[in-house]
Amino acid sequence: MLNSNGEHVTKDGEIIPLRDITDSHLVNIINYIEKRSREGFYVAMWSGWSTDPDSMFYEEDYVKGDEALSILNYDAYINELKRRHK
């Protein structure tokens, strides 16, 4: 997943600029995103709470296909791969 600066964030929280990701890692990320978009997944859409911590709530939605690709920043990874192999 990309952070707000367009850098890849690993599952361990490590931040790596896209340009520094190896080709094989980039391809693995793309394959993972494609698989997740086919299978679908839940995302939290919004949340809230009042003064009582037990009142916390959130809305979630199940996404797949193009919407999932968008959420997982698929285009950014594909564009980086294309940039490298012009």
Regions of the chain short of the pLDDT cut 70: none
Residue 15 DSSP label: E
Q: What is the pLDDT of residue 22?
A: 96
Tell how many helices (H) and how many strands (E) occur in the chain.
3, 4
46 close to 59: Cβ distance less than 8 angstroms: yes
pLDDT tens-place string over residues 3-25: 999 999 998 999 999 999 999 99
Q: What is the pLDDT of residue 16?
A: 96
Structure tokens at 55: 């009142």
Q: What is the pLDDT of residue 64?
A: 97
Boundaries of every domain in the chain:
7-84
0.85 exceeded by pTM: no
Rg of the chain over Cα atoms, rounded to whole angstroms, equals 16
